[in-house]
C-alpha cells in the first residue's frame, strides 16, 4: 500500500511539473534522463569522437595535453569535446543546464557517465578522493549554488569514494574571454582544509576544461597536502580552442 501511494505521489508531481529536455525543451517521459530520446541519440554520437593521440573514444582515454602534464596532472578524464557546432547542441545543453539550474536529473546523469569513464581509465579507485574546482563567489551569488561541487559529490556517490571540499575560489572575474595567462592570474584558490593526502589519487572535477589554467593552479595547491599525490583532471568536456596550444584534437 505504501508503494502504491508513493507511485501516485510521483505521478502527481510529474504531471504538475513535467521536466523538459535540456536541449530541445520538449517534455520528457518518466525515464529519469535529462534528454529526450532523439537528443540522447545526438549526445551519444558526440561521444563517438576520437582522441587524436591514442585513437580511442574520448571517454575511453585519459590523455592530457602537455600543459596539464607540466603542472603535475597525470591524466584528463572527459566525456566529449565542447564546441558550438549544431551537432554538439545536445551535449552542450547538459553543461548549460548544470551551470544555470543544477537539475538533479542532469547532475545525476553526468555523474553516472563520468563514473563509467573513471572506472574504465582507473582500474583501482579505492585510494582515490574527489574534490572540485570551486565556482567563483560572484557566480555562486548569481545562481545560488556551485554546480561543480554538486557534480563532484554525485560522482563520489557513484564511485563509492570520499568527497573532500579542498578549495575556495577567490577569483574576481569571469574567465570566458581571457587568455591562458590572464586565467592563471585570475584562478586564485585557498585551501579549506589541510588533510594528509600522501599516496592518494585526487580527482579534480570541473564542467569544462578550456585552457587548463584553473586545473593547473588547483593541482599546485593540492600537491602541497602530501607526498606522492597523483592528480587526475575530470571534466564533462574539453573545450576546443585553437588559441590554446595544449588542446590536442
Mode of pairing for the β-strands spanning 73-82 and 189-191: unpaired
The domain 50-239 is placed in CATH, from the list 3.30.450, 1.10.3470, 1.20.120, 3.40.50, at: 3.40.50
Tens digit of pLDDT at every position of the chain (249 positions): 555 454 444 434 444 468 999 999 999 987 789 999 999 999 999 998 888 788 899 889 999 988 899 999 999 999 998 877 788 999 999 999 999 999 999 999 999 999 999 999 998 899 999 999 999 888 899 999 999 999 999 999 999 999 999 998 876 556 655 555 666 555 678 899 899 999 999 999 999 998 888 999 999 999 999 999 999 999 999 986 544 333 443
Cα angle, residue 130 at apex, residues 21 and 167 outer, rounded to 5° = 100
| All three cell numbers of 220 | 599546485
Contacts 24+ apart (CB under 8 A), 32-38: 32/105, 32/108, 33/105, 33/109, 34/94, 34/97, 34/103, 34/105, 34/106, 34/109, 35/90, 35/93, 35/94, 35/109
Distances from the Cα of 186 to the Cαs of 108, 129, 167, 173, 217, in angstroms? 30, 26, 15, 7, 10
Sign of CA pseudo-dihedral 153, 158, 164, 167: negative
Q: Which residues contact 62 (CB under 8 A, 6 or more apart)?
A: 74, 75, 76, 77, 121, 122, 232
C-alpha cell at 83: 564546441
Amino acid at each position: 500500500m505504501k508503494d502504491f501511494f508513493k507511485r501516485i505521489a510521483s505521478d502527481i508531481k510529474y504531471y504538475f511539473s513535467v521536466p523538459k529536455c535540456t536541449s530541445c525543451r520538449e517534455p520528457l517521459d518518466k525515464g529519469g534522463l535529462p534528454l529526450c530520446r532523439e537528443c540522447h541519440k545526438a549526445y551519444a554520437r558526440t561521444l563517438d569522437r576520437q582522441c587524436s593521440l591514442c585513437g580511442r573514444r574520448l571517454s575511453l582515454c585519459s590523455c592530457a595535453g602537455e600543459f596539464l602534464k607540466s603542472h603535475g596532472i597525470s591524466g584528463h578524464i572527459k566525456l566529449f569535446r565542447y564546441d558550438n557546432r549544431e551537432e554538439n547542441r545536445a551535449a552542450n545543453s547538459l553543461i548549460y543546464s548544470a551551470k544555470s539550474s543544477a537539475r538533479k536529473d542532469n547532475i545525476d546523469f553526468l555523474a553516472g557517465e563520468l563514473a563509467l569513464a573513471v572506472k574504465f581509465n582507473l582500474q583501482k579507485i579505492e585510494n582515490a578522493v574527489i574534490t572540485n574546482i570551486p565556482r567563483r563567489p560572484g557566480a555562486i551569488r548569481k545562481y545560488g549554488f556551485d554546480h561543480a561541487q554538486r557534480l563532484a559529490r554525485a560522482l563520489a556517490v557513484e564511485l563509492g569514494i570520499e568527497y573532500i571540499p579542498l578549495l575556495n575560489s577567490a577569483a574576481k572575474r569571469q574567465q570566458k574571454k581571457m587568455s591562458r595567462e590572464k586565467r592563471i592570474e585570475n584562478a586564485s584558490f585557498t585551501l579549506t582544509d589541510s588533510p594528509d593526502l600522501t599516496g592518494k589519487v585526487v580527482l579534480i572535477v570541473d564542467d569544462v576544461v578550456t585552457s587548463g589554467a584553473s586545473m593547473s593552479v588547483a593541482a599546485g595547491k593540492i600537491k602541497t597536502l602530501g607526498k606522492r599525490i597523483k592528480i587526475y583532471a575530470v571534466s564533462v568536456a574539453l573545450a576546443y580552442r585553437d588559441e590554446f596550444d595544449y588542446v590536442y584534437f
